[in-house]
Amino acid sequence: MYTLLAFALAATALWILKLYAGWRAAVSSIQNYPGLRYVFGPESFMMQWRIPYLSAGNFSLWLKKHQDFVHFDSDIISSVRWLPDPSSMLLLADADAIKEVTSARTRFPKPLHQYKILTFYGSNIVVTEGDEWKRHRKISAPSFSERNNRLVWDETMLIVQELAEELWKGRREVAVDNIVDLTVPMALFVIGVAGFGKRMSWKEDLAVPPGYVMPFKDALHIVSNDLWMKIVLPAWLLNLGPTKRVRNFRDAYTDLERYMTVMIQQRKTAEKKQERYDLFSSLLDANEDEGDGQSRLSDSELMGNIFIYLIAGHETTAHTLAFTFIMLALYQDEQEILYQHIKSVVPEDRIPGYEEMGKLTYSMAVFLETLRMFPPVNAIPKHAAEDSVLVTQNMAGEKLTVPCPKGTALLFHTPGLHYNPRYWEDPHAFKPARFLGEWPRDAFLPFSSGARSCLGRRFSETEGVAILTYMMKQYRVEVRDEPQHAGETFEQRKARLLRCKSAITLYPVKAPLVFKRR
């Protein structure tokens, strides 16, 4: 017994010594550049909160924003962790350094192993690099066309019009317990029709085709809401379905795969091809146009790409719109400026057309300012494929050189960049007008940057501007009065409504608003 205990203690001591030696080597590799020193680094999704000495806190990237960079007096800081293995990382809130990294893709490639969890239905443009990425991009990029943007605009207007004239018909005021309960279906319906070619309605759809468990709309909604289960839960537990919610997700995931498979087969076997501009149809058309069979995407790759469109285009836009309505409800003066601008562009009682989107500059500015203040993704990873040196500056503007040896992980710190006063005057203030003139485009990363930037940026902006324009033309949005919050100050109200959590993207926990017809 004592021999076994002694062996265990010796093994533990050896393990700790090995960890310490690895940690010292990681610190030395970056020449002890100032930064975070914790057992678990900020990249650990299992440790969300900052705990002294133990966890840097993944969610603390959002909570701290630019504070860590100020504390360590540099727009690039380091992070060295102990577990699961000692390693070093550089966190970047420097626009020039980020531009250098995104421009030198061979020196700073994507760490593909971190993205493998996104191969839900198949390989796709997000999880590939090099020639494989070029193959995916060549076929995927044409889907995001001007015709698709027009489809996004037109269908979005039909969706919000149905909401106002059918679901909310005759109601002067509509209270919403939580704004995401409104924006999530809005974005879901848009991606349904403009992404998959499946028009959905605010009215209940109970039609379930033979062989399916639920309608397409429900399958899409459940999978997009509970996708974390596919990441966190092992396959055997998903198949077992210990709770109703897990069983619903399992069935929805299977049904969505079946729906997409049938859509692909129907498209392939159709005698006459319909001219359609939704992303799925355009993706299939581009794939069929590839003369070289080896260049074509397989059925699983087609599903993998369209599913990435869903994740990127649904949740991010839904949550950004939720934050937008919250900010407009809090800042009534900004809402009035937006309303008057919309009236100046579309004075008549009619629905704005896609050709007027370019004139709706304040709608776009409000949407972009919300993306700046509430970036959907807090961190974008890269890694150094060779020994490099990055250049940054301290808070006084003095030049600093940062060692970046081969194998070092890099993290674009989106909140750190978006709240960096070097690029954004008064960064904590909601000022949409900052996007009306010249603004620092290299310091704006909600859609990433460089060649790997999001293909769906215009899709998201079109949808966001369309929804904001229609809703603000028809309604005034205010914070819902609740007796338990009657005595709160403006700052207390703001903090309550903007309390956030992060799953796949950043989202407000609970924000009750009211829409009042103008």
Question: Cα–Cα distance between 381 and 115 in angstroms, integer?
Answer: 10
* 20/498: higher pLDDT: 498
Question: Cα–Cα distance between 32 and 403 in angstroms, integer?
Answer: 9
Task: Determine contact, residues 123/301, Cβ cutoff 8 Å.
Answer: yes
Question: Cα–Cα distance between 504 and 377 in angstroms, integer?
Answer: 8
Residue 178 has pLDDT above 90, yes or no: yes
Query: What pLDDT, on the 0 to 100 scale, is given for residue 244?
Result: 93
Query: What pLDDT, on the 0 to 100 scale, is given for residue 505?
Result: 82
Question: Cα–Cα distance between 496 and 467 in angstroms, integer?
Answer: 25
Q: Do the bridges between strand 87-92 and strand 388-393 make them parallel or antiparallel, or are there none, so unpaired?
A: unpaired
Other Cβ atoms less than 10 A from the Cβ of 202: the count is: 15
CA–CA distance from 449 to each of 101, 336, 418, 457 (Å)?
A: 10, 33, 14, 11
Query: What pLDDT, on the 0 to 100 scale, is given for residue 205?
Result: 67
Closest C-alpha to 89, from 77, 99, 98: 77
* 421/112: higher pLDDT: 421
Q: What is the pLDDT of residues 282-319, one digit of tens each?
A: 888 888 877 666 778 888 888 888 888 877 777 889 99
What value does the mean pLDDT of the chain take?
91
Three-class SS state of 109: coil
CATH superfamily for 134-379+421-517 is Cytochrome P450 (1.10.630.10)
Q: What is the pLDDT of residues 463-475, one digit of tens each?
A: 999 999 999 999 9
What token pair was written down for 490? 């403006």
Three-class SS state of 120: coil
| C-alpha distance across the termini of the chain, in Å | 80
Could you give phi then psi for residue 434, rounded to 5 degrees? -65, -20
pTM of the model: 0.92
Q: Do the bridges between strand 409-413 and strand 87-92 make them parallel or antiparallel, or are there none, so unpaired?
A: parallel
Question: Cα–Cα distance between 60 and 72 in angstroms, integer?
Answer: 16
Question: Cα–Cα distance between 387 and 403 in angstroms, integer?
Answer: 8
Angle in degrees, CA 294, 296, 299, rounded to 5: 120
Residue 61 has pLDDT above 70, yes or no: yes
Residue 500 annotated in ligand binding: no
Domain residues of the chain, as ranges? 134-379+421-517
Residue 396 has pLDDT above 70, yes or no: yes
Other Cβ atoms less than 10 A from the Cβ of 518: the count is: 10
Q: What would the mean pLDDT of 20-27 be, rounded to a whole number?
A: 92
Q: What is the pLDDT of residues 332-354, one digit of tens each?
A: 999 999 999 999 999 988 999 99
Q: Is 418 exposed, middle or buried (0-12, 13-18, 19+ CB in 10 A)?
A: buried
What are the strands, taking DSSP E only, across 26-123?
A: 35-40, 76-83, 87-92
What's the Rg (C-alpha) of the chain?
24
What token pair was written down for 148? 């698709």
Question: Cα–Cα distance between 153 and 462 in angstroms, integer?
Answer: 6
Angle in degrees, CA 453, 454, 459, rounded to 5: 145
Could you give phi then psi for residue 166, rounded to 5 degrees? -115, -60
Query: What pLDDT, on the 0 to 100 scale, is given for residue 148?
Result: 92
CA–CA distance from 331 to each of 326, 327, 490, 494 (Å)?
A: 9, 6, 10, 10
Other Cβ atoms less than 10 A from the Cβ of 204: the count is: 8
Beta bridge mates, 413: 379
Could you give phi then psi for residue 437, rounded to 5 degrees? -110, -140
Share of the chain above pLDDT 70, in %: 97
* 504/406: higher pLDDT: 406
Burial of 63-82, coded b for 16+ CB within 10 Å and e otherwise, reads: ebbbebbbebebbbbbbbbb
